[in-house]
Amino acid sequence: MPGGRLSHDERRDIGAGLAEGLGYAEIARRLGRPTSTVSREVARNGGADGYRADRALRATERRARRRGPAPLAARPQEAADRDELRDELRDFGEQFVTMLVATGLPRMASRVLVRLFLTDSGSLTAADLVGQLRVSPASVSKAVGYLEELDVVRRERDPRRRRERYVVDDDVWLRAWTRDTRSTANWADTARRGVAVVGADTPAGVRLDRMGDFFATLSADMASGPAGVEDALTLLAALMHAGAPADAGRLAAGLGWPVERVTEALRHAEPQRLTPAQRTALAR
């Protein structure tokens, strides 16, 4: 029944469909299920490459045991669906936290950030976070302070409740990108100052010079933002489609871009990205 629990046979069919390379929509059509049911089932049980029917069944049984002894069949379908959605949100939240921790973010800060992200309003009070995470107010305060330093969370006053709310904005990743860009530029500047101190002809100077070049290039790429990388990929596609060399003017006319935009995109694919051996081999 669409919307009901997946059977073990259906999970095996999902696994077989993935092995055949079928998309979620086709698998769902064969099962007579909504595509969202199949995509959620796969996402919370290892993804398309790691999905295993037996393992997915065991995970579902564990979630059912955590909800208590009441048999699912005895519950109204609406209540069962709410329980399933709650489990999916919890599992996704745990995966999100694990990913953030792997990038170096402290675990408590990761838990706070994920809670804010998964809240429709994108904001919570300290009391909300303490209650949801079941931690001390001091732990929440420390985590929020850390996230504020990273410029991913801000505080705002709630005039109705006379307390502060912690907010994560829609442009949070753009602000984080900008902050990292400045940090990368600082690495390049520090390396160049080091070269001046130790001497460009010393082993340490050579090492610092290479470091400076690396971070300077990285900073320039980041300063142009994600759009710069997208433009470079579009330009590569245009060159492949043309099947012959083309100058900036021809590319600009074909793409409907200003010449300056083409020039900037070319900078992202400049020959310096290739090693000397690669350039020699390609020039033959």
- For residue 1, pLDDT over 50 is answered with no
Stated pTM of the model: 0.51
| Rounded mean pLDDT, 108-123 | 91
- Give tens-digit pLDDT for 15-65: 888 888 888 888 988 888 888 788 888 888 878 778 888 888 887 777 666
Confidence category of residue 220, pLDDT binned at 50, 70, 90 = confident
What one-letter code names the amino acid at 166?
Y
| Rounded mean pLDDT, 168-194 | 84
Write down the mean pLDDT value for the chain: 81
**Could you tell me the two tokens for 273?**
């990205």
The fold of the 105-170 domain, in CATH, is Arc Repressor Mutant, subunit A (1.10.10)
Q: What is the DSSP string of the chain?
A: -TTSPPPHHHHHHHHHHHHTT--HHHHHHHHT--HHHHHHHHHTTTHHHH--HHHHHHHHHHHHHHH-SS-GGGS-HHHHHHHHHHHHHHHHHHHHHHHHHHTT--HHHHHHHHHHHTSTTSEEEHHHHHHHHT--HHHHHHHHHHHHHTTS-EEEEETTTTEEEEE--TTHHHHHHHHHHHHHHHHHHHHHHHHHHH-TTSHHHHHHHHHHHHHHHHHHHHHTHHHHHHHHHHHHHHHHHH-S---HHHHHHHHT--HHHHHHHHHHT-GGGS-HHHHHHHH-
**Could you tell me the two tokens for 67?**
């909800």
Confidence category of residue 244, pLDDT binned at 50, 70, 90 = confident
Q: Where in the chain is the domain with CATH 1.10.10.10?
A: 105-170
Query: What is d(CA 39, CA 28) in angstroms, rounded to the nearest whole number?
Result: 9
> Residue 217 CB: number of other CB atoms within 10 A?
15
% pLDDT > 90, the chain:
26
Query: Which residue pairs, CB below 8 angstroms and at least 24 apart, start in 141-148?
Result: 142/108, 143/106, 143/108, 143/109, 143/111, 143/112, 144/112, 146/106, 146/109, 147/109, 147/112, 147/113
